[in-house]
Structure 1
């Protein structure tokens, strides 16, 4: 698996309330997307970014990070072969990503994802 980006997924109670702090105080003023339950904000100057998450639309747990890869199917096969716990199966989601959630040996849940072009 080749990782192309890692994004922190920060659990928040309310996107709008959290948005004010992270866009104002941290300067993450570019909203890349907002699905109502997850939104990504980026600094136009540095490219630093994070995702604010209130819940997940289809998975049973929130991930700590989202890991973008160029081959999510191969990553899924590798995770299964290694015997890692799959928290959310490989799925093509209605909002246009293909992803799965895997639990690291330390208990951290990762969202391994490929965005369709």
Structure 2
């Protein structure tokens, strides 16, 4: 098997609001759209995103009314301080400010208009020895 692309599908209440968020602030472009549906992509290695309106019949019956929750859409990036500043300057609420974990993960989070958590991660070498 060869995987040619990766896509995450998120069920949201307001497709247009999430679509605007991802295209305005995160550099995604619309690939296709219809009532209750949008397919977004980027030219780099980021995964594609499909947004589906809650209740859409293409979803399995037991999933139609579920909202994308408990999901963190994480992007590994460089220049994380600049990204946090850029997004803040664009009016995006930083819902978890930049922090560094002991295992070498630097991260911050924003939340889209439908409550989808978007996390930005940059990996650094941990300062001290790590215990197993």
TM-score by length of 1: 0.45
Higher relative contact order (CA 8 A, sep 6+): 1
Higher strand share: 1
